[in-house]
Amino acid sequence: MNLLQETTDMLSAYDKTWDDVLWIGCADFTISIEDFKRLANCEYNNDYGSPEVALDLKVVGKDWWLERTEYDGSEGWVYKAYPTKPSGQKSVQRVIGCWESLAEMLDKR
């Protein structure tokens, strides 16, 4: 897998381009977009085994970001966006339940 192509494809899948990227880095520092593109233009093994791409790497836009995910050595990007606040508000009786969503808990009052 080519990391640069994988990143470009992930951006495109969510109607984003490199022009939408504000910064790239981790919680402690950023790297230039140009440096990332140069360094990411290489092949890596994204299949099962040990992860090869920095797990704390993030590509960040205005209200979204890509972050690395890894499951049993299989790695890739996951797209995340800030949630939109719902228009309605409800009164709930609990927020703790086994394998239940908040909406399911509301229905079981």
Per the structure block, which two tokens stand in for 20? 């939408």
pTM of the model: 0.80
Mean pLDDT of 27-55: 92
**How confident is the model at residue 1, as a pLDDT?**
92
Q: What share of the chain has pLDDT > 90, as a percent?
A: 63
